[in-house]
Structure 1
Amino acid sequence: MDKIEVGEVFTISDENEEELEVEVIGTVTIEGTDYVAVSFVEDLQEETDEDIDIFFLKVDQDGDFVAIDSDDEFEKVSSAFDDMVSEEE
């Protein structure tokens, strides 16, 4: 699998098949599985004090991004990204 870089932009489809551009804002590997934190490019380009939406996606064996489908897995990934952000501050 190619290394996913922070700042990489790609397109995802929402539940209505509308294509949205997202940018990778962080990556983490937990127990051998790669995860990315992404946010909408449009939100990142706007200069605002409002919080931006961040989504976590799992990278499967084929290098494709897939949704995290278990609450336990989501909590584990969310916590790992929170720890990363805390270390950077």
Structure 2
Amino acid sequence: MEKVEVGNIFVLLDENEQEQEIEVLGTLTIDEVEYAAVGFAEETQDESKEDIDVFFLRVEDGDELSVIETDEEFDRISAAFKEAQEAQEHAEEEE
């Protein structure tokens, strides 16, 4: 498997054992653990970019994606990604 980077597309098996392509939308390291924000490739490649379902996965060993196990961890990671996105948008507005 290749290193997890923004723009990479990976194939995961869903709960019904169906293959789903996901695209990495962003990465963030929190408390020395890397996380990836991902969306379904079909949705992210749609020109409208409306209503993209984004979810978060833990990056293991630089190239493996795993599910976040607890609601507490998910909430913490979700808030950190939102904060990073808002900071980036604010920085872009100042340019």
With normalisation by structure 2, the TM-score equals 0.83
Moved over 4 A (4+): none
Counterpart code for 1:11: V
Residues 4, 63 of structure 2: 8 Å contact kept: no
> Is residue 4 from structure 1 mapped to residue 4 from structure 2 by the alignment?
yes
Residue 32 (structure 1) shift: 1.0
Residue 62 (structure 1) shift: 7.1
Residue 88 (structure 1) shift: 1.4
Structure 1 or 2, whichever has the larger Rg, is: 2
Residue in 2 that maps onto 1:17: 17
Q: How many residues align?
A: 88
With normalisation by structure 1, the TM-score equals 0.88
Q: Gaps (5+ residues) in structure 1?
A: none
Counterpart code for 2:74: F
Q: Gaps (5+ residues) in structure 2?
A: 90-95
Instruction: Name the Cα RMSD after superposition.
Output: 1.7
> Is residue 78 from structure 1 mapped to residue 47 from structure 2 by the alignment?
no
